Amino acid sequence: MYLPKHFAETDITAMHALMRKRPLATLVCHGSAGLNANHIPFLLADEPAPYGQLQGHIARANPLSKAGETSDEVLVVFQGTESYISPSYYATKSEHGKVVPTWNYTAVHAYGRLRLIDDAAWIFSQISALTATHESSFPQPWAVSEAPADYIEKMLGAIVGIEITIERLIGKWKVSQNQPAVNQASLIVALGDKPMADLILGKVGE
């Protein structure tokens, strides 16, 4: 990932927060058939320090389930808040017109080694935790235990667990840090209540 110094995010807590808020990530691997990408919801565990561990599952029919434990590095891409930035948002447009469109965004790249886990108890624990996390905001959260036991047993047999201990974590917060203060201020006003406005404001205040 191209990463100018002024866009680099090094705060692990901030990166972890994005990964938990936007858990559907793209797992990129390189196998015998070349590059392969899978879109997987991950749970992030804080340990082992400093970067934590990603846990998820895939269909047993997925060719990735035959990969086993590999020494090859894999990449997991988490995409956070993003927004198109129009030249008309910049205060300096009316002064000299030397402005162009861009796209602001936040992203985290996590690197590690893939481990497959073919253990029903581990997989049940993983899907239960994943479900509980994403059902927690519902008035009546659904739990895995509500489904018939024989049905869940059949479903467990159709999936394989995956685990990636994070060895490197790279964050990019491209939120107009390279713009003059007058443009940052006009962007915040133009974006209004969009999340990107808060991100720009947060970086301006640092």
Whether 190 is covered by a domain: the verdict is: yes
Distance CA 171, CA 179 (A): 20
Number of domains in the chain: 1
Decide if 156 is inside a domain. yes
Residue 69 placed within a domain = yes
The pTM of this model reads: 0.93
Q: What is the pLDDT of residue 33?
A: 76
pLDDT in tens, 150-172: 999 999 999 999 999 999 999 99
Q: Return the CATH number at 96.
A: 2.30.110.10
Q: Does residue 93 lie in a domain region?
A: yes
Residue 49 placed within a domain? yes
Q: For residues 166 and 74, what is the distance between their CA atoms, to the nearest angstrom? A: 10
Confidence check: pLDDT of 206 > 60: no
pLDDT by residue (tens digit) across 21-72? 999 999 999 877 788 999 999 999 999 999 999 999 999 999 899 876 566 8
Residue 206 lies in a domain: no
Q: Domain containing 172: what range? A: 5-201
Say how far apart CA 123 and CA 127 lie, in whole Å: 6
Residue 29 lies in a domain: yes
Query: How far is residue 39 from each of residues 36, 64, 84, 98, measured CA to CA in Å?
Result: 10, 12, 24, 39
